Amino acid sequence: MKYIFTAVLLLIALSACGNTTTEPPPTTTTTLPQPEPTMQPTTQPTMQEAELPTMQPITTMPYVSEYLSQVEYWLSKLTLEEKIGQLIMPRLPWQTTAVTANLQPWLDAIPFGGFILFSDNVQSIEQVQQLTADLQAQARLPLLISTDEEGGRVSRVGRLFGGATPAAFDIGQGEDSVHQISIQNANQLRNLGVNMNLAPVADIWSNPANAVIGNRAFGHTADVVMLHVAATVEDLQNGGVLATLKHFPGHGDTYEDSHYQLAFHNHDIYRFWEKEALPFIAGIEAGVTAVMPGHISTPQIGGHTALLPWMQPWIDNGNLPVTFSDFWLQEILRGEMGFDGLIITDGLEMRALTDHFTCGQIALGAFLAGADILLIPANPAEAFQALLDGYHDGYFTRERVNESVRRILHAKEGLD
Where along the chain do its domains lie?
1-77, 83-413
Antiparallel, parallel or unpaired: β 244-248 and 290-293: parallel
pLDDT band for position 70 (cuts 50, 70, 90): confident
- Whether residue 20 is predicted with pLDDT greater than 90 in this model: the reply is no
pLDDT tens per residue across span 161-217: 999 899 999 999 987 799 999 999 999 999 999 999 999 999 999 999 998 999 999
- What would the DSSP string read from start to end of 326-351? HIIIIIIIIIIS---SEEBPSPTTSH
Do residues 223 and 237 touch, judged by C-beta distance below 8 A?
Answer: no
Q: Which residues of 217-226 are buried (b: 16+ CB within 10 A; e: fewer)?
A: bbbeebebbb
Do residues 384 and 47 touch, judged by C-beta distance below 8 A?
Answer: no
- How high is the pLDDT of residue 369? 98
- How high is the pLDDT of residue 176? 75
Give me the mean pLDDT over the 244-250 stretch. 98
* Residues in Cβ contact with 74 at an 8 Å cutoff, skipping those fewer than 6 apart: 5, 6, 52, 141, 409
| CA distance linking residue 113 with residue 405, whole number of Å | 9
Strand-pairing partners, residue 263, are 296
Give me the mean pLDDT over the 56-80 stretch. 64
- How high is the pLDDT of residue 169? 96
User: Does the bond joining 41 to the residue before it have cis omega, within 30 degrees of 0?
Assistant: no
| CA distance linking residue 288 with residue 340, whole number of Å | 10
* Residues in Cβ contact with 309 at an 8 Å cutoff, skipping those fewer than 6 apart: none
Nearest to 59 by CA among 5, 139, 143, 1: 1
Give me the mean pLDDT over the 80-102 stretch. 97
Q: Which residues of 238-275 are buried (b: 16+ CB within 10 A; e: fewer)?
A: ebebbbbbbbbbbbbbbebbbeeebbbbebebebbeeb
- Whether residue 154 is predicted with pLDDT greater than 70 in this model: the reply is yes
* Residues in Cβ contact with 343 at an 8 Å cutoff, skipping those fewer than 6 apart: 290, 291, 292, 293, 329, 333, 370, 371, 372, 373
What separation in angstroms does the CA of 371 have from each of 108, 137, 261, 274? 24, 27, 21, 25
- How high is the pLDDT of residue 405? 98
pLDDT tens per residue across span 356-392: 999 999 999 999 999 999 999 999 999 999 999 999 9
State the catalytic residues: 259, 346
- Whether residue 49 is predicted with pLDDT greater than 50 in this model: the reply is no
- CATH domain 83-413 topology: TIM Barrel (3.20.20)
- How high is the pLDDT of residue 68? 56
What separation in angstroms does the CA of 167 have from each of 162, 205, 229, 347, 407? 15, 13, 13, 21, 31
| CA distance linking residue 88 with residue 297, whole number of Å | 24
